[in-house]
Amino acid sequence: MNSEATERGYRARLLVVMRWLAGVAVRCAHRRPRLYASIQPDGWSAQPIEIVCRFAPDADLDPATGTPVGDVGYYLYILNEAGNWDYSSTTSFLFSLWQRPWGHSWLILESPQDRLEFGHTGDLGQAKPRYHVGVLQRVRHKDPNPIGYFWQTMSDGQLQIGKPNRPPTFVWRMPITRRRYQLIYEYVMHRKYDQFGVRSNNCTDMVVETAALAGINLIHRIRLTWPPETKVLGRMRRVWTDPQYRILEFSTPDVLEVDLRQLARLRIGGDTTESYLGLKR
C-alpha cells in the first residue's frame, strides 16, 4: 500500500474531504455559522485545521477501492455528540458555549466475542470551575486574561466505561483487523486519564489518537483567533492582554462530526447512528 499510485489516491480523497469541509464553512457563513469565520474587524476568526494524509502508510485498505478492510467481526466505532457551537463571532461563540457547554466523543471497540464502549471524561467542576464557568467568572472579575482559563489543565479526568447520559448525534464505524483490535485495546487499558484539558488530552483527542492506531487520520481541530476585547454580558470586556492567549487551537466534536459524516458519504467507514440508537432504546 505504499505505491505512488496509492499515495495519489490518498491525496485525491483528502482533497475531496477538504473541499467539502470548506464548502460547509462557506455555506454556514450565510446561514448558521458553525465551523468557519473569516477574519472579523475586531480580529476574531475560526478555521478548521487540515491534516496531511488521510491514511497511515500501513493502513489496511482494499487495493481496488482504497477503503478500510478488516477481519470478520472486528470494528471500531466513533460516537460523537456535537456541541453545535456558533463560531461566527467571539460573542456568538461564548454565548453558544454557555448555552450548551457540552460535546463529547467516545468509542466502541468490537470483536466477535466482546463489545467495549468507553471514552475520556473530565471538566466535572469539582476541584475547579468548569471551563465555560471559569472564563465568565474571570470576565466578571476583570481578569486581564479571562480566556487564559482555557489553558488550565483539570485533574478530574476519568475513563468512561459504558454509554454516557446523552445520545450521540452521529455514529461512524470502520472495520479493523484483529491485530489493530489488540493494539487499540492495549492502548486504552494503559492510557492515563487523570489529566483533562481543552488544548490537549480531551475526549476528542483520545478518539482521534485511537483512530490513528486503526490506520486513519481524522480532521478534528480548530484554530480560534481572539480579539483583545469583545462584548460580553452587554458590555465591552477584556479577552486577553498577554498575546500568548490570542490563538487557541483545540480538538472539538463539531469539526470531528463534519469529517465523519463526509467519510461515510465517501464510503470510508459507515453511518450506524440509527442502529446504535435503536439498540439503546
- Which one is predicted more confidently, 232 or 136? 136
Please tell me the pTM assigned to this model: 0.86
8 A C-beta contact, residue 146 and residue 237: yes
Mean pLDDT confidence for 221-227: 97
Task: Give the pLDDT of residue 280.
Answer: 54
Burial status of residue 267 (CB atoms within 10 A of its CB: 0-12, 13-18, 19 or more): exposed
Residue 20 has pLDDT above 50, yes or no: no
Task: Give the pLDDT of residue 86.
Answer: 94
Name the percent of the chain lying above pLDDT 70.
Answer: 88
Q: Which residues contact 219 (CB under 8 A, 6 or more apart)?
A: 17, 18, 21, 48, 49, 50, 51, 255, 256, 258, 259
Task: Give the pLDDT of residue 61.
Answer: 97
Element (H, E) at 189: helix 178-190
Q: How far apart are CA 183 and CA 147, in angstroms?
A: 38
